[in-house]
Structure 1
Amino acid sequence: MTITSPHLGSSKAWTDAQLLYALEEVVEKELNRHLKVAKDWMPHEYVPFSDGRNFPGVFEDGEAWAADQSKVTDIGKIALVVNLLTEDNLPSYHHEIASLFGRDGAWGTWVHRWTAEEGR
């Protein structure tokens, strides 16, 4: 795949790798901005343990889940679906970026933090 930039002043086509390298300075700036204000979080801070239920399964009996128990808004449900779509391919994204850039630099730092956060 190639991407042509109207800002290059020519018809030069960029490969994905060239585009990522060209964006590295911007990524570093934005990553540093993000890291200054980012607050680490854990899922239980947003879904209290007291709201938890035991659902029927292999090892436990419990109350079956029903859709009307959800407190998630429609837009929240859409966001969760999009998140799942990107998370499903995360190993491939991580491999491609880490193979190209390694652990050092803005891209390496970003992809490792992204993968760690998705692991929560």
Structure 2
Amino acid sequence: MKENANPVILVVDDEAILRELLFEMLSLEGYDVLLADDGKSCIEIYKQKRSEIAAVILDMNMVDMHGEETFIALHEINPQVNVIIATGDPDDEAVENLVATYGIDVVSKPYEIRTIYQKISALI
């Protein structure tokens, strides 16, 4: 992590408890955290603050807008967007397609925070 900067991480998950868990864990590690509860709000936040956002942790299975659709919209805004997919099913075909096509990293739920820290550090 950069010493004089607090990288901003956008956490996108439709489960409030998981958003709050990541908020707490990432904040304690020195990250600034933005929260979105669905794909549409994620896209709006990213449009407004893309220059500030270092990485996005994106849940794949959301009720309103699927993670794959959300990622594609983010990628259209910024082809260099840094995304880590969060999923309870890493064998999901959509996850496999995103990993194969875009080289996206994946974290499995339930979260191991050390793994998330490592993946963020490698990404930004």
Structure in which a larger fraction of residues adopt strand: 2
Q: Structure 2 length normalisation: TM-score?
A: 0.25
- Greater Rg, structure 1 or structure 2? 1
Structure in which a larger fraction of residues adopt helix: 1
Q: Structure 1 length normalisation: TM-score?
A: 0.25
